[in-house]
Structure 1
Amino acid sequence: MTDSVLILGGRGRIGSTVAHDLATHTQAQITITGRSAEFGKAVSLSSGGQVQFLVLDLAEVDKLQDAIANSNLVIHCAGPFHYRDTNVLETCIAQGVNYVDVSDHRSYTSKALNFSEQAAAAGVTAIINTGIFPGISNSMVRQGVEQFDKPEKIHLSYLVSGSGGAGITVMRTTFLGLQYPFETWIDGKWKIIKPYSERELVDFPPPYGRTGVYWFDMPETFTLPKAFPSVKTVITKFGSVPDFYNHLTWIAAHVFPKWLMQRRYMIEFLSHVSHSMTDVTNNFSGIGVAVRSEVTGQKNGETAVYCSTVVHENTAVASGCGTGSIAQLLLEGKLKKPGVFAVEEALPTDLFEEVIQSRGIKINHSWL
């Protein structure tokens, strides 16, 4: 019997790359959703019928429940997740359907993790925070942590060129991440950090080289300490190329009045202006991504540092690979872990290496 996959928000930049990845690597029948009908016929024709289109708004609860009930797997790509409730996840648990999402904000992650016991009782595997970062980045950390007798510190740095090939939603996510200070795990204590602060120059692989990154609120900031209890410090920093975007983002975080940054119309304005700017700069900066994971810890009685890096020419495509690979493993029955988990707790390193290599993504490792 053919597997049936429902991709909510499958018309968006990230959702469409997930659909493409699944169509390439599985035989599943894929249904993508969006809010307008014009798109449907073209999708079905271009995919040879493997991908179908369904007009669906997440507010249409009955229609959503029917669509989920007719699926083996639901992939939630309808962000930004700052605004989302857990209705889709709860419906999947009630219907006994496995769930994957591309969520990238701690508020949603915290809410989703609260349903882990219900998911486990229902035999539902729900894996959240998939994609490139969070997602592939979490698996890179797990791979690094496993090299140590006692891991102690994790430093994650992410870099995106221009728009990253993503749409307006990802721009919104960036500016929404600047609204509030956030908790970080430093020296075994929770500490409040200002967003886009403490610029640090980090060495990324070519073509990026030494580039500035800043504190950024990510789910990994609190899911990694939970997954790896011996770790006393987790740092998550983000930067953009060209570098002047970093300075503009810093101004938005530190100069604009907080009350203004907490208004939805301001987020919309900044997102659209930024997206228009990247339409120009993408031509010379590209739309790639780099992730660098550095784990420090004890190995054979000595302190050591293990560094992993990955580079991809298209951020949105890399995200599609990260989510699609986990979906593939669930469909094939290779990955089964009832409950709600972030990637680092759900995906064993051997399976991660297998599916990433099959997509032509190379992760480089070195001891520093």
Structure 2
Amino acid sequence: MQVDLQCVNALFSCGEAIMSKVVIILGGYGNFGKRIAESLSHHDITLLIAGRNEAKAQQCIAQLQNQSRAVLKPWQVDIHADDFTERLAAQNPFMVIHTSGPYQGQNYTVPQACIASGAHYIDLADDRRYVCDISALDRAASTKGVLIVSGASSVPGLSSAVIDKYSIAFKSIQSIDIAIAPGNQAQRGVATIAAILTYTGHPFEVFKEGRWQSIHGWMDAKSHDFGGIAKRRLLANVDVPDLALFPKRYAVADRVSFQAGLELPLLHWGMVGMAALAKWGIVKNWSPLAKQLDKLSNCFLHFGSDIGAMEVSISGLAESEKPRKVIWRLYAPNGQGPYIPTLSTIIIAKKLLNETLDKTGALPCSGLLELSEFEPYFETFEIYQKTQVEE
């Protein structure tokens, strides 16, 4: 009996495709989703580029197809639809990456659907309550043997990795100050703008002067020198999960602060003015205008630079009881800044795919990663870090 080797090979190829792990990126064609898709497309998986707009998913696939080892497929889906949980289960996913922000106001439909499907879950959420309260799903996730991670982004994913590395140089920590300053020419997404606008001018709690007190979003504006290629930038208050997680995690005595800013003074002070109008009650919520404000800001894309920066400053006492300050800075030239928020997710996703992370349960992305795990990606994207110690 003759065996048709071509048919046999085809059968094996079909079997490999059937057995390959299915990874779904919700919002896979968005500002962050497409970068994660680009990185994971080099794995032997079935990668679903998912979202409400199938045409955009197809366009993303067309851009990745030539360099991809993964089987790329579009999946038109709405995470707010009543049948989302059933449709997700039908895909039999190994892992779901949720990039469809803003997360402010979202419930846990997506991670709960992942738990029900027996799939790992990672998101890039920056909403304080969404990230910090994800542990409510811990028992259900542990029972199913899946990992549910929220906030796998610049904060608290990368920021906690930085502090974990340098906190061992301190006997006690007095303050942690974090700042992010994107370049004006770097790509930005409507979801990110909408997220910031939800708390612009609204109060939120921070640990300051050794106690919890209220400050207002995008106020307390100041100028800050990032040094190096980023130079001096304007900053203002931003609400992130770190503000809730870090005071207890690092036993901080005085304060944990987080600020961010827009490179162009006109846009930055415009946001400060919007915050004032919201604080005074003249405007209730700016987030419905996110698309319009995104279009307006795009009119200024030719101004400013494509250089982004991040800084983590830790102050306290060394083992010798003498004052010590560590300042860690990250510089992203050439418009590479938008890759930084995706790296925590990419690292965790690859560890799960390679079966080198066996943790289960539901938790914020704090203390899950080491700074050394980011460094190969920094090198790939020509992003570089500098550390300064003052004693």
**Distance in 2 separating the partners of 1:319 and 1:77:** 11
CA distance in 2, matches of 1:209, 1:182: 29
Moved more, 49-58 or 249-258: 249-258
* Distance (Å, rounded) in 1 between the aligned partners of 2:104 and 2:158: 21
Structure 2 counterpart of 1:59, from 68, 80, 98: 80
**In structure 1, distance between residues paired with 2:80 and 2:58:** 23
1:152 aligns with 2:167: no
**Number of paired residues?**
364
Question: Does residue 138 in structure 1 map to residue 160 in structure 2?
Answer: yes
Distance apart, 1:350 and its partner CA:
4.3
Structure 2 CA distance, aligned partners of 1:146 and 1:329?
25
Distance in 2 between residues matched to 1:52 and 1:76, nearest whole Å: 17
TM-score using structure 2 length: 0.84
| Alignment correspondent of 1:345 | 367
Which AA in structure 2 matches 1:190? W
Q: Give the gaps of 5 or more residues in structure 2.
A: 1-18
Aligned to 1:161, the other structure's residue is in SS state coil
- The 8 Å contact of residues 150 and 297 in structure 1, kept in 2 or not, is answered as yes
Partner of 1:18: 36
Q: 1:309 corresponds to which residue? A: 329
Using a 3 Å threshold, how does the CA distance of structure 1 residues 111 and 259 change in structure 2: closer, same or farther? farther
Identity level (%): 20
Distance across 2 between alignment mates of 1:354 and 1:38: 33
Q: Which residue in 2 is equivalent to 1:31?
A: 48
Runs of 4+ in 1 over 6 A off after TM superposition: none
- Asked if 1:248 is matched to 2:270, the reply is yes
Deviation at 1:38, TM superposition (A): 2.3
Distance of 2:169 and 2:382 partners within structure 1: 23
**CA contact under 8 A between 1:153 and 1:295: conserved in structure 2?**
yes
3-state SS of the aligned residue for 2:232? strand
SS in structure 1 at match of 2:213: strand
Q: CA deviation at 1:259?
A: 4.3
Deviation at 1:196, TM superposition (A): 2.0
Residue 57 of structure 1 and its aligned partner are, at CA, apart by 0.5
Which stretches in structure 1 are left out of the alignment for 5+ residues?
Answer: none
Name which one, 1 or 2, has greater alpha-carbon Rg: 2
Looking at structure 1, the residues matched to 47 and 205 of structure 2 have their Cα atoms a distance apart, in angstroms, of 38
Alignment of 1:276-355 (within 5 A): 276-301=295-320, 302-312=322-332, 313-353=335-375
C-alpha RMSD of matched pairs (Å): 2.5
Superposed displacement of residue 164, structure 1: 3.5
Using the alignment, how far apart are the partners of 1:2 and 1:149 within structure 2?
48
Change (3 A) 1:350 1:153: same
When residues 157 and 72 of structure 1 are mapped into structure 2, their CA distance, relative to the original with a 3 A threshold, is same
Mapped partners of 2:380, 2:138: distance in 1:
30
Structure 2 CA distance for aligned equivalents of residues 350 and 64 of structure 1: 37
Residues in 1 aligned to 2:115 and 2:123: alpha-carbon distance in whole angstroms: 14
Closer, same or farther in 2 for the Cα pair 1:357/1:336, shift >3 Å?
A: farther
The within-5 A match list for 1:1-368 is 1-24=19-42, 26-48=43-65, 50-68=71-89, 70-162=92-184, 164-230=186-252, 232-256=254-278, 258-263=280-285, 266-269=286-289, 271-301=290-320, 302-312=322-332, 313-353=335-375, 356-357=378-379, 360-368=382-390
Greater shift, 97-106 or 138-147, is seen at: 138-147
170-179 or 60-69, which deviates more: 60-69
SS in 2 for 1:333: coil
Q: Cα 1:262–1:142, aligned 2, differ >3 Å: closer, same or farther?
A: farther
Q: What is the CA deviation profile of residues 121-149 of structure 1, one whole-angstrom value per residue up to 9, with x for unaligned ones?
A: 33322221122344323322322223323
* CA distance in structure 1 between the aligned counterparts of 2:61 and 2:372, rounded to whole angstroms: 35
Deviation of 1:260 after TM superposition, in Å, equals 4.9
Give the secondary-structure state (helix, strand or coil) at the position aligned to 1:346: coil
